């Protein structure tokens, strides 16, 4: 039910498989939750690269005929969440170009914080930019590097950029995977048949029958070349600061990200939340689907029964028909409905993963109250979201973030809850830290790394 905070994209790369573009297609399908605006694949057969990209879901952009034109044993792919209002076909990825070493295709998950500076510098040197994507910088930097080998040029280029990037490159004969030193955005390595796969989340591995090997390390570049094992180059010393919001909301619960399972982390958050923010009630109800694992955790820890008191409707479609005056909160009600009989007269703890603008929470609580709930206590399995993200997540401006502008009590009043509480940052860290990992929590704390 989050419509106000979004992962910007997903990347995938397949190397040494005779149906590489088909595997990329299904991987992107598994990663569709990370971006529904556009999709694209570049493939390579050792001689030249082929690229198809367009607006739409993966299943809309590709068909059998198109996949067949994407020949070759290696392929990279991308799904994209649209941010700008502009007609955005030119901002779809992969970005591909001809340059002095031949052909190059790139897919990128993340956001370059020094994007504008680099762009202005490049433009000053005579470069032209045909899209508004920060990714376009990378090709220019590689094309302008004076190194002879592509791998050295990539190192040159990434040393100039700052911010968050999980990148996969395809050249005529090789594939490269690279992650920024902080490992902001996830990227995992797997084995499929005799080949390899890298992907933003491991749910892609599960669908295509690949086996998880390990994370691509922060600061690491992997080079895939025919007939050789993947070569690892440490471009930077790793200083991990993984994006905590992957665990809070973005990633699929069945995925591993940063080497650990998402569902378990969310359940931990619910348990910690029950410890920190207990309240007497008759039942725990999640806001589906985001709140489900933490609600289960909260229920197990508190002993209060878990109930699927709000159902999610699977036949939404798009409607442009205006409601009548009897029909309040139509937009939410078309997606979510309360089990009135279950809720009537009951004290409810409703669990959600986060509050961004507060409008959806307000509608949900009104809906539960209208269904007869005697009390509605909202518990959020993450701290107040008080700061925008600069590392690849699409967040509203600070003045739209309700927690940046109101106290918890004020928010509680605004959304009409009988009480409201958030998970503390410490408790969040306890939920996700099994081996001392470090996370970027700037959206909660304002402590930006770069």
- The residues annotated with a catalytic role in the active site are 9
Q: What is the DSSP letter of 306?
A: B
For the beta carbon of residue 391, count every other beta carbon within 10 angstroms.
25
Segment interacting with a second copy, rule: CB under 8 A, options 5-13, 221-229, 327-335, 379-387: 327-335
Question: Shortest CA distance to 301 belongs to which of 385, 427, 412, 417?
Answer: 427
Segment interacting with a second copy, rule: CB under 8 A, options 92-100, 236-244, 383-391, 415-423: 92-100
Between the CA atoms of 148, 150, 154 and 156, what dihedral angle is there, to the nearest 10 degrees? 0
Cα separation, 405 vs 356, in Å, equals 11
Instruction: Let me know: does 42 contact 106? Beta carbons within 8 Å.
Output: no
Which of 113, 114, 173, 261 contacts a second copy by CB under 8 A? 261
Letters for 126-165 (x = contact with a second copy by CB under 8 A, - = none) are xxxxx--------xx--xx---------------------
Provide long-range contacts, Cβ within 8 A and 24+ apart, for 135-138: 135/93, 135/95, 135/106, 135/108, 136/95, 137/112, 137/161, 138/95, 138/106, 138/108, 138/167
Question: Shortest CA distance to 442 belongs to which of 244, 289, 216, 251?
Answer: 244
Segment interacting with a second copy, rule: CB under 8 A, options 215-223, 234-242, 300-308, 426-434: 300-308
Residue number, 26 or 444, with CB nearest to a second copy: 26
Region class of 360: left (phi > 0), else alpha (psi between -120 and 50), else beta: alpha
Q: In the bound complex, what is the minimum distance in angstroms from residue 192's beta carbon to a second copy?
A: 6
Binding residues for a second copy restricted to 332-371, rule: CB under 8 A: 333-334, 337-342
For the beta carbon of residue 35, count every other beta carbon within 10 angstroms.
25
Q: In the bound complex, what is the minimum distance in angstroms from residue 363's beta carbon to a second copy?
A: 14
Cα separation, 403 vs 395, in Å, equals 13
Q: In the bound complex, what is the minimum distance in angstroms from residue 148's beta carbon to a second copy?
A: 14
Segment interacting with a second copy, rule: CB under 8 A, options 155-163, 200-208, 381-389, 394-402: 200-208
Segment interacting with a second copy, rule: CB under 8 A, options 166-174, 294-302, 378-386, 439-447: 294-302
Question: Does the bond joining 94 to the residue before it have cis omega, within 30 degrees of 0?
Answer: yes
Residue number, 254 or 426, with CB nearest to a second copy: 254
Q: In the bound complex, what is the minimum distance in angstroms from residue 310's beta carbon to a second copy?
A: 8
* Residue 319 touches a second copy, criterion: CB under 8 A: yes
Binding residues for a second copy restricted to 11-30, rule: CB under 8 A: 17, 19, 22-23, 25-26, 29-30
Element (H, E) at 378: strand 375-380
Q: In the bound complex, what is the minimum distance in angstroms from residue 234's beta carbon to a second copy?
A: 28
Question: Shortest CA distance to 132 belongs to which of 167, 93, 168?
Answer: 93
Residue number, 370 or 413, with CB nearest to a second copy: 370
Q: In the bound complex, what is the minimum distance in angstroms from residue 392's beta carbon to a second copy?
A: 20
* Residue 69 touches a second copy, criterion: CB under 8 A: yes
Reported in sequence order, the residue ranges of 242-300 that DSSP labels E, i.e. its strands, are 242-243, 256-257, 260-261, 283-286
- Which residues have C-beta within 8 Å of that of residue 104, sequence separation ≥ 6? 49, 96, 97, 98, 139, 142, 150, 169, 170, 171
Which of 208, 257, 402, 420 contacts a second copy by CB under 8 A? 208
Binding residues for a second copy restricted to 28-67, rule: CB under 8 A: 29-30, 32-33, 36, 50-52, 54, 57-60, 62-64, 66-67
* Residue 317 touches a second copy, criterion: CB under 8 A: yes
């Amino acid at each position: 039910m989050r419509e106000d905070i979004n992962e910007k994209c997903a990347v995938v790369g397949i190397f040494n498989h005779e149906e590489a573009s088909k595997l990329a297609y299904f991987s992107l399908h598994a990663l569709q939750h990370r971006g529904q605006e556009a999709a694209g694949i570049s493939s390579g057969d050792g001689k030249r690269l082929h690229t198809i990209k367009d607006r739409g879901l993966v299943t809309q952009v590709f068909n059998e005929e198109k996949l067949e034109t994407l020949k070759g044993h290696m392929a990279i792919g991308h799904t994209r969440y649209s941010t700008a209002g502009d007609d955005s076909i030119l901002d779809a990825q992969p970005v591909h170009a001809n340059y002095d070493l031949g052909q190059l295709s790139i897919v990128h998950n993340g956001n370059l914080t020094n994007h504008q500076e680099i762009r202005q510098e490049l433009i000053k040197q005579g470069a032209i930019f045909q899209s508004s994507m920060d990714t376009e910088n990378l090709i220019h930097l590689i094309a302008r590097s004076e190194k002879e080998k592509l791998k050295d040029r990539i190192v040159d280029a990434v040393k100039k950029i700052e911010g968050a990037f999980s990148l996969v490159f395809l050249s005529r004969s090789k594939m490269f995977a690279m992650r920024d030193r902080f490992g902001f955005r996830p990227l995992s390595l797997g084995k499929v048949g005799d080949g390899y796969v890298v992907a933003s989340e491991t749910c892609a591995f599960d669908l295509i029958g690949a086996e998880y090997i390990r994370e691509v390390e922060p600061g690491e570049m992997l080079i895939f070349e025919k007939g050789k094992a993947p070569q690892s180059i440490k471009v930077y010393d790793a200083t991990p600061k993984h994006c905590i919001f992957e665990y809070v909301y973005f990633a699929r619960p069945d995925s591993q990200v940063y080497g650990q399972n998402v569902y378990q982390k969310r359940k931990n958050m619910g348990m910690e939340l029950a410890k920190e923010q207990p309240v007497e009630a008759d039942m725990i109800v999640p806001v589906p689907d985001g709140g489900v694992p933490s609600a289960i955790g909260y229920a197990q820890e508190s002993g209060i029964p878990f109930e699927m008191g709000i159902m999610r409707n699977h036949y939404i479609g798009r409607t442009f028909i205006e409601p009548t005056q009897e029909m309040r909160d139509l937009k939410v009600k078309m997606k979510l409905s309360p089990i009135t009989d279950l809720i009537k007269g009951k004290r409810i703890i409703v669990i959600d993963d986060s509050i961004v603008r507060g409008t959806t929470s307000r509608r949900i609580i009104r809906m539960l109250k209208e269904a007869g709930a005697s009390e509605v206590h909202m518990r959020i399995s993450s701290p107040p979201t008080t700061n925008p993200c600069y590392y690849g997540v699409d967040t509203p401006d600070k003045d739209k973030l309700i927690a940046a502008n109101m106290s918890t009590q004020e928010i509680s009043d605004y959304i009409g809850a009988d009480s409201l509480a958030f998970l503390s940052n410490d408790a969040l860290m306890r939920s996700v830290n099994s081996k001392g990992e470090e996370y970027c929590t700037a959206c909660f704390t304002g402590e930006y790394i770069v």
